[in-house]
Amino acid sequence: MKIKNNIVNLACTGLVGLALPVTAFSAEFEVSGKVGVEQRYFDEKGQFNEQLSHGQASIFIEPELYWSWNNGNDSLTFKPFYRKDQHDDERTHGDIRELSYIHASDNWELRAGIRKEFWGVTEFQHLVDVINQTDTVEDFDGEDKLGQLMLNFSMVQDFGIIDIYVLPGFRERTFAGSEGRLRGPLTVNTENVSYESSDEEKHIDFALRWSHSIGAFDIGSYWFHGTNREPILTPVMVGNKLVLNQYYNQMDQFGLDVQATIDDWLWKFETIYRNTEEDDFWAAQAGFEYSFVGVFDSNTDLGLLVEYGWDSRGDGDNGSMGAAIQNDLFFGSRLAFNDMQSSEVLFGFGADLDHNAFSFVLEANRRFGESFKASLDVRLFQSTSSTDLLYSIKDDDHLQLGIEYYF
């Protein structure tokens, strides 16, 4: 009996010993994502030859694979993206939005791979958001970004969070093709791209950012050194066709963003200083959002937004390269219904104070059931000045309806 008990105890000890490393290295694997269809309808025909007329449909898929282990301290995320557009070949495109490894410790994190990093606090323009390249063919508002290869070391200190970024490799901006809408009179040549740096798209960029919360204030500041995400577009003849060639210069950019939460007020401010071989300038975006909680004795919250954008380059009338937002005023409102369907509505109105130019945007979305979400977007543009950047898309007013399925 004693021998038998010893064998049982030894077996149990062995099983426990085997179980411990299995538990220590246990992993969690999740698959999620979304697939959707979008339909755009343009009220008028395009201004330029070859542009699609009224309807533009597309489908997209964005799965996400997430794997974590070591009690969640280590994780791997893979998020590819692909869109197929009915008319615009340039809008038919794929991208790896994220393929990154993260290791988290008590007071530091290491993040490596392809990632998206967002900076900014204002609603209508994100001046300080500089890490990722803009995916212009996705939408006109610049909210969509391409994945960026990076190595990011983040340290949590008493005086704030310090982030160091090493960014090997550069992504060119996407542009609508000849059949696409929301573009200028000349299409952008994606085949012949030039750079100031001899390393071209292989140039290694750097960024250093500090962020901290002090009472009601959330503050962030940074320095970025590397390839400018905004290309200089120059008209050239390619064969018998006039197109725009892209040139990417080097830049140093310093940025500051501040948000103050005081009662029902959100005060927001962003500013940058950019220095390049061709130019140097200041730009700022500032405003506030005031929230009315539970309007009309309901669950709905109403936010009122006001912002002003300024750029020292002006509109470029003196021969220099102008800015899209150089002296502009924005008004908007955000409705959060706080219902089971997560219904939200955001609309805004922008006015260029130097030109007779206006824009209107409406974004509404609502969830249906457990897996579906419907969205409605409206974009309206008006401009009478040929020197204004909105003039080239003044006939591109459109409505977009989207249905997404989440899995």
* Mean pLDDT value of segment 242-246: 96
Instruction: Give the mean model confidence (pLDDT) for residues 155-168.
Output: 98
Average pLDDT of the chain to the nearest whole number: 92
- Determine the pLDDT at residue 25: 55
**Residues, the chain, total?**
407
Return the sign of the alpha-carbon dihedral for residues 351, 356, 362, 363. Answer: negative
Over residues 164-187, the mean pLDDT reads 96
Least reliable range by pLDDT among 10-14, 23-27, 310-314, 324-328: 10-14
pLDDT tens digits along 221-233: 999 999 999 999 9
The H or E element that residue 95 is part of is strand 93-104
List domains and CATH numbers for the chain: 35-406 (2.40.160.100)
Q: Are 98 and 117 in contact (CB under 8 A)?
A: no
The pLDDT value given to residue 389 = 83
CB 68, CB 103: distance < 8 Å: no
Do 385 and 391 form a contact (C-beta atoms < 8 A)? Answer: yes
Q: How far apart are the first and last CA of the chain?
A: 56
Mean pLDDT of 312-327: 71
DSSP string, 222-240: EEEEEE-SSPEEEEEEETT
| pLDDT of residue 388 exceeding 90 | no
* CB half-sphere exposure, 53, CA atoms < 13 A: 0
pLDDT at position 316 is 61
Contact present, 406 and 34 (Cβ < 8 Å):
yes
